[in-house]
Structure 1
């Protein structure tokens, strides 16, 4: 199993943090697990994580 995370910041150097739906007492960088067949680059996984975070 592999995972990926992304540190995303804006022009003011503020870092994006997300609050996971399974835990409300913490904030994390966006990330997720890699699916079978995905490359080990975090591009696909972090894009999927951003999509699922924005749907909440």
Structure 2
């Protein structure tokens, strides 16, 4: 079992990563004055998707 497989099955780690991702998005948007808001959001979604944390997908057991 690889590290990403363990991450995908650990709900606590995913919740913490989502909180950190949201905080990073807010920080970048604050620093840029929301000038690149859509690009930052797209990057956040791609990063979360690569880690199996798609917010649009129903919760996995």
Q: TM-score range by the shorter chain?
A: 0.3 to 0.5
Q: Which has the higher helix share?
A: 2
Q: TM-score, normalised by structure 1?
A: 0.34
Q: TM-score, normalised by structure 2?
A: 0.32
Q: Which has the higher strand share?
A: 1
Task: Point out the structure with max Rg over C-alpha.
Answer: 2
